[in-house]
Amino acid sequence: MLELRPDFKYHLYWHTRYPKPCALSANKIFYQHLSAQQLKERSTAAHPRILADEQSFAELKQRICTDETARTFYQQLYAQAEQLLQTTPPPTPERHTLQNRLLALCLVYKLCEEQRFFDRAWQELERYCSFSTWMYHEKLDAGYILKGIAIGYDWLYHDLTAQQREIIRTAVLQNAFWSEIQVYRDPYRIGLDSHYVLHNTNHNVSINCGMIMAACALLDSPDLTDLCAEMIESALWALENYLPEFLEHGCGKEGVYYWYWPTTSVMEIIFSLKGTFGTDFSITKTPGFDKMGFFPVYMTGASGKEFNWGNAWEDVFAISESLFAFTPLLCEERFAYCRLKAMQVYQQPATAYDLLWYRPISGKTPKLPLEMYFQRTESVGMFSELFQPTATSVCIKGGYNNEVHTSLCAGSFVIDALGERWASLPGGEKYNVPDYWDYTENGRRWSYYRMRAEGQNAMVIDPSLAPDQFPFSVCPVVSFQADADRCHAIIDLTDAFRNNANVSTALRGAGLKNDRSVVVLQDEVTASGVDYWWMMHTSASIAIACDGQTAVLSQNGKQLFVRLACNLPAKFETMPAQPLDSSPHPPENGENVGLQKLVIHLTQVNELRLTVEFSPAPQSSVSVVPLCKW
């Protein structure tokens, strides 16, 4: 890691509006940077080289013969490739279709050499090369399409005719390189869409990854060598604006759903650079890189559903194939164990990257903690047992409300037990609703139910038409402790109510107690006559006792008992999963089908200590104590 040099190409631009002093990327250069000329001199002329070379494919064939897991992965991928033979190329460009299809078709072809898979792969390539644009909706489309183009061109290079290769090269120039080299050369020029160069969002790494992969694939084309080398040099500089911050705490600031896409892109960049230049230019040495595989493991509840704060959906499986890549890169088996175990327990099919990146691991089960705290996102996952669907888990977060893709979700939580998700989140809103990306303090984004605290299981105080938490708040985890039979995290939510002069302090604690069988949530608020709401979305049916102090959640023949303890008169109620009467009601709000809310509402609150306990057992056995004594 070097101090900022005079030739630093791009200034850091903070998409999240306010610089975050803790970010390691500020005023630093992390990666080795070679000039375009040096890149040309260092590159290999051999194909394939993107993601894998001939030796890698030979070793993979051997693993399939000798390792049962690799053989199973191959059989599953072969079946997927056979199904693709029955499909046709899309009529218009689709963001992920080309790469997903070519990974399966080309990898199976490289391993079995059956002509039918090559022919179907070429149909897909030829169709995409016929499109007049790859930026069908936005520039991100082109980034992912370039990944597929690079894989097809490089892996099939020796089987493509000279004419076919020229068709691909021409399409890359016309649909990406000619326009984007102008962006790299002058990203500040008015009228250019240079967000993937200057901003620090997932678009940066995903689009630059496509540029790097395609440029590495075409680098040995005599008439394109200079251009490709300049593209690679520029893209590596642009990554300085994103990767160090993305990786610094081993987590994804945009949530676990948007951890998947940039993490996959990081791995694709690393393996492509290694194959082309014999080095990853120190990307694997970025602080936090060796920890990033933990994030999806602890942000996935015991039921296998992800903690889907922000623009995310709980049914997307987050413990992805990228975890296998740490074994060949760092000789790190813990993440590979997590991916393999998760595939077995949650019955996940293998992908092309599973087969490509998997390496046999030792028979020893790694010792993993049952809880983990992630700085920057200020998120915590706590479990009674890992990779056990019937275990009990609670995930909670504080952090920055104004990160890209996030919502007003300080204090948001999900709860899993008995193989079910009991406390759920509605997920993200449709991306095309008006002003959805307006992150300003009173932006229209905060009018949509799913982007408000009331739609995210978060604490709400004095709700109104205004944002129900301060959009630029920073809410840290102030206590995180664990031992064998219990654990907890406490988040200071006070800053979420910065604009409310009547709120002095607001804390939320979450933990597992009684041999980690019981989930406890506790709020403590010091205020002056405020209107307080505790809210939890659930897909379960709710039966509330006559006194309002207990509730029974039921789904799929299972029950979870919920109990309330409070220093003020409080009771459980139910509400539809929709805005409060005092909240905005934009007509574009999505319907939260299958969800309702368990709520607690208190008025004129001055001093509050409210505890909610979730247990599979009907009898309570958790004592209520102040958070300071947890």
pLDDT tens digit string along 107-150?
A: 999 999 999 999 999 999 999 999 999 998 999 999 999 999 99
Burial of 197 (0-12, 13-18, 19+ CB in 10 A): buried
**pLDDT at position 29, please?**
66
Degrees, nearest 5: CA angle 181-183-189: 140
Mean pLDDT over 345-359 rounds to: 97
Q: Nearest to residue 85, comparing CAs of 50, 57, 58, 112? A: 112
Q: How far apart are CA 137 and CA 144, in angstroms?
A: 12
What type of residue sits at position 482? A
pLDDT over 50 (residue 4) = no
Maximum Cα–Cα distance across the chain: 80
Q: Which CATH number fits domain 371-617+625-629: 2.160.10.10, 3.30.1320.10, 2.40.30.20, 2.70.98.70?
A: 2.70.98.70
Which residue matches tokens 């604006």?
241
Q: Do domains 48-294 and 371-617+625-629 have the same CATH topology?
A: no
**pLDDT at position 464, please?**
98
What are the C-alpha distances in Å from 481 to residues 237, 395, 611?
40, 14, 19
pLDDT over 80 (residue 621) = no
In contact, 81 and 130? CB cutoff 8 Å: no
CB atoms within 10 A of CB 469: 31
Least confident of 200-204, 211-215, 267-271, 511-515: 200-204
Tokens of 311: 């623009």
402-421 per-position pLDDT tens digit? 999 999 999 999 999 999 99
Confidence grade of residue 196 (pLDDT, cut at 50, 70, 90): confident
Which residue matches tokens 């230049």?
277
For residue 175, how many C-alpha atoms fall within 13 Å in the half-sphere facing its CB? 28
Q: At 353, give phi and psi (nearest 5°).
A: -70, -30
Q: Nearest to residue 614, comparing CAs of 453, 409, 382? A: 382
In contact, 524 and 505? CB cutoff 8 Å: yes
Q: How far apart are CA 545 and CA 548, in angstroms?
A: 5
Residues in the chain: 630
Alpha helices for 323-372 (secondary structure H): 326-330, 334-346, 352-357
Q: How far apart are CA 324 and CA 320, in angstroms?
A: 8
What type of residue sits at position 162? A
Tokens of 491: 């988040």
201-222 per-position pLDDT tens digit? 899 999 999 999 999 999 999 9
pLDDT over 50 (residue 15) = no
pLDDT over 80 (residue 5) = no
What are the C-alpha distances in Å from 283 to residues 50, 146, 563?
17, 21, 49
**pLDDT at position 188, please?**
84
Domain-wise residue ranges, the chain: 48-294, 371-617+625-629
Question: Between 97-112 and 68-84, two packed helices, what is the crossing angle to 10 degrees?
Answer: 120
217-244 per-position pLDDT tens digit? 999 999 999 999 999 999 998 998 888 8
In contact, 511 and 382? CB cutoff 8 Å: yes
CB atoms within 10 A of CB 431: 10
Distance of CA 424 to the CA centre of its chain: 17
pTM here is 0.94
E-strand stretches of 398-517? 399-400, 413-417, 420-423, 460-461, 474-475, 477-483, 486-492, 503-513
Does domain 48-294 bear CATH number 1.50.10.100?
yes
Confidence grade of residue 392 (pLDDT, cut at 50, 70, 90): very high
Q: Please list, in sequence order, all residues whose beta carbon lies within 8 angstroms of the beta carbon of residue 532, skipping any fewer than 6 positions away.
A: 459, 460, 461, 525, 601, 602, 603, 605, 608
452-482 per-position pLDDT tens digit? 999 999 999 999 999 999 999 999 999 999 9
Handedness of CA 138, 140, 144, 150 (dihedral sign): positive
**pLDDT at position 243, please?**
87
Least confident of 86-100, 310-324, 547-561, 611-625: 611-625
Report the percentage of the chain scoring pLDDT > 90. Answer: 86
Q: How does the average pLDDT of the chain come out, rounded?
A: 93
pLDDT over 70 (residue 6) = no
In contact, 391 and 300? CB cutoff 8 Å: no
Confidence grade of residue 8 (pLDDT, cut at 50, 70, 90): very low
Higher pLDDT, 14 or 447: 447
Confidence grade of residue 14 (pLDDT, cut at 50, 70, 90): very low
In contact, 338 and 452? CB cutoff 8 Å: no
Instruction: Give the chain's radius of gyration (CA, Å).
Output: 26
Q: Nearest to residue 389, comparing CAs of 347, 334, 354, 446? A: 347
Confidence grade of residue 28 (pLDDT, cut at 50, 70, 90): low
What are the C-alpha distances in Å from 126 to residues 164, 361, 476, 535, 629?
8, 39, 51, 52, 66
